[in-house]
Amino acid sequence: MPDWSLVSLSVLFGLTARWAVSLNSYSGAGKAPMFGDYEAQRHWQEVTYNLPVEEWYFNTSDNNLLYWGLDYPPLTAYHSLLCAHIAQLINPDWISLHTSRGYESISHKLYMRATVVAADLIVYIPAVLLYSLYFSEGSSKKQVSTMLCMLLYPGLILIDYGHFHVCFPQHWNTYNCVSLGFALWGVLGLALGWDLCGSLAFCLALNYKQMELYHALPFFCYLLGKCTRKGLTGKGLTHLLKIAGTVAASFVLCWLPFLADPAQALQVLRRLFPVDRGLFEDKVANTWCSLSVLVKVRNLLLPQTQLRLSFAATLLAVLPSCIKLFVHPSVRGFKLALVTCSLGFFLFSFQVHEKSILLAALPVCLLISEIPFISTWFLQVTTFSMLPLLLKDGLLLPYIVTSLAFLLISITLLSALEQTSEEDLKLKQLFARRRKHMPRFNAPLLAKSGYVLSVLCMAVLSFLSAALSPPARLPDLFPVAISLFSYVHFVGFLIYFNSIHLTEISSKKTQKKTN
């Protein structure tokens, strides 16, 4: 039985941190023209409120798609519509057609922030609460610590609550908590064995942000694997049909207004997946960007070839883990596959943005109680990898504070640094087999020193990129250094998570037998 006062205190802490971070972004007020995610969100409210559904995704005289055109699935549009209706009650100027462009005021910002908090409170936080109280390991105190850690993960807070100003022609907005929250509900559903609810929740996530496709393969493989296990002719088939029905129904429901006319649906799809944007933008810690330090892939190959190349690479990266999950569907394997797939997508797929790392961070959050050492390390690196973006937003202070707080919590509450034995790192399986070929080494010491070294490097790089101006010949020196540094880590983590997922055969088999 968890202590409810501690639980509510943790939630309050999470909310306090969120709102305090959001206060920091007010400091940049008045930097006109402030055409960024904030304006995009506001503009969508304007469009969805004033125009009929048929015009939302089309370029018309009232809807200039080049000016922050809607490029998210329908659920995002509905959410905007809901927010717009509330905005209409408070102040119609906020969303009046055409005239409200570039609107900015303190009260409107407050309203936008409040909508994020509301969405967070309704979708993400309850899911975290349920997950950490019912599916994380350890005593009730440990569970509360896990929950606090998940709630205070800096990356999500900084992006959802800090990021407001910067202009990026990218697929992303500030309501990450909604799509990630729905995905988490999906995981919860599957973990509880309520496959239909789980797939419904995941469909909602997918219809909120197409980026959730990063998580789609594990969901698919897990459910399919589970059905085949039940026998594809009898029970399994009906189960599969039920799931397929749920998925189809939820998609139809979400897309209902756009299904009347095939042109509508096609246009929405075209808006969702613009492939003409190039292999990557800015400095992102994935393979293509890192490779471009040596080879300029973007200039060497045709865009079509780039697309195919990245597709093939992504597939190769995620396939082992997917096959494993399909053959041995288990909840733990499912969580690991979520990590490896989203990380594989992040590292190899086409048109990746720095913020997409949040998609890999979410499943890693789920592993905090199992493998605190690696998880918290990974989460630190993800926050760090977004530093160039945060610096542009003027979020240096909240970045430092929240990262330090996260480090403090992970070391003291989760005692991450003490859980570095082979057992704790789940590497026993792997090492047991290769013991003969490998020289003996002190895993805990190695892991710990690696962690400390990495944290120190992050601190130094953060300091350098915040305090120094780069040499004139290399204006991107620090962002590139940060993305390379993070890339090396991510590759390491990908290998690690893959190996522990792929080597856990025997233990799961024995567990299954005992069950």
Partner 1 sequence: MAALTAVSWSWFLTLAIGLSLLKCLLITTYHSTDFEVHRNWLAITHSLPVSQWYYEATSEWTLDYPPLFAWFEYGLSHIAKYFDKEMLVIQHLNHASPATVLFQRLSVILTDIVFIYAVRECCRCVNGRKESKELLEEPVFILAVLLLWNFGLLIIDHIHFQYNGFLFGFLLLSVARLLQNRHLEGALAFAVLLNLKHIYLYVAPAYGIYLLRSYCFTKSVPDGSVKWSSFSFTRLVALGTIVCSVFAVSFGPFIAMGQLPQVLSRLFPFKRGLCHAYWAPNFWALYNAVDKALSILGLKLKLLDADGASKASMTGGLVQEFRHTVLPSVSPLTTFVCTLVSITPAVLCLWRKPQGPRGFLRCLIICALGSFMFGWHVHEKAILIAILPLSLMAVDNQRDAGIFIILTTTGHLSLFPLIFTAPEQPIKILLMLLFTIYSLASLQRLFRKEGSLLSWLEAVYLTGLVPLEVFCEVVYPLTSWQQTLPFLPLLLTSVYCALGVTYSFFKLYLSMLTEPEGMQKRKDQ
Which residues would be at the binding site for partner 1 (CB under 8 A)? 3, 5-6, 8-9, 12-13, 15-17, 19-21, 23-24, 26-27, 106-107, 110, 117, 141, 397-398, 400-402, 404-405, 408-409, 412
Contact 283, 482 (CB under 8 A): yes
Q: By C-beta, is 9 or 452 nearer to partner 1?
A: 9
Q: By C-beta, is 13 or 168 nearer to partner 1?
A: 13
**Residue 384 and residue 382: Cα distance in Å, rounded?**
5
Q: Is the peptide bond prior to 33 cis by the omega test (within 30 degrees of 0)? A: yes
Q: What DSSP letter does each residue of 203-263 carry, written as one string? A: HHHHHH-GGGGGGHHHHHHHHHHHHHHT-TTTHHHHHHHHHHHHHHHHHHHHHHHHHSSHH
**Residue 479 and residue 485: Cα distance in Å, rounded?**
10
Percent helix, strand, coil in the chain (nearest 5)?
70, 0, 25
- Nearest approach, Cβ of residue 150 and partner 1 (Å): 17
Backbone angles phi, psi at 435, to 5 degrees: -55, -40
Contact 300, 309 (CB under 8 A): no
- Nearest approach, Cβ of residue 412 and partner 1 (Å): 5
Q: Which one-letter DSSP state was computed for residue 355?
A: G
Paired residues of 352 in beta bridges: 280
- Nearest approach, Cβ of residue 505 and partner 1 (Å): 40
- Nearest approach, Cβ of residue 7 and partner 1 (Å): 10
C-alpha to C-alpha distances, 337 to 142, 216, 376, nearest whole angstrom: 24, 10, 18
Q: By C-beta, is 114 or 443 nearer to partner 1?
A: 114
Q: By C-beta, is 309 or 396 nearer to partner 1?
A: 396
- Nearest approach, Cβ of residue 161 and partner 1 (Å): 11
Q: By C-beta, is 31 or 141 nearer to partner 1?
A: 141
- Nearest approach, Cβ of residue 5 and partner 1 (Å): 3
**Residue 377 and residue 369: Cα distance in Å, rounded?**
13
Q: By C-beta, is 105 or 421 nearer to partner 1?
A: 105
Q: By C-beta, is 19 or 255 nearer to partner 1?
A: 19
Q: By C-beta, is 73 or 398 nearer to partner 1?
A: 398
Q: By C-beta, is 151 or 480 nearer to partner 1?
A: 151
Q: By C-beta, is 29 or 313 nearer to partner 1?
A: 29
- Our separate counts of H helices and E strands in the chain read 24, 0
- Nearest approach, Cβ of residue 102 and partner 1 (Å): 21
Q: By C-beta, is 116 or 240 nearer to partner 1?
A: 116
- Nearest approach, Cβ of residue 83 and partner 1 (Å): 18
Per-residue HEC secondary structure of 100-147 comes to: CCCCCCHHHHHHHHHHHHHHHHHHHHHHHHHHHHHCCCCCHHHHHHHH
**Residue holding tokens 């991510």?**
490
For residue 448, how far is the Cα from the chain centroid?
27
Q: By C-beta, is 9 or 327 nearer to partner 1?
A: 9
- Nearest approach, Cβ of residue 362 and partner 1 (Å): 23
**Residue 362 and residue 340: Cα distance in Å, rounded?**
12
**Which helix (H) or strand (E) is 298 found in, with range?**
helix 297-300
- The three-point CA angle 367-204-46 to 5° equals 120
**Residue holding tokens 């997950």?**
131
Q: HSE, CB side, 13 Å, CA atoms: give it for residue 24.
A: 24
Residue type, 62: D
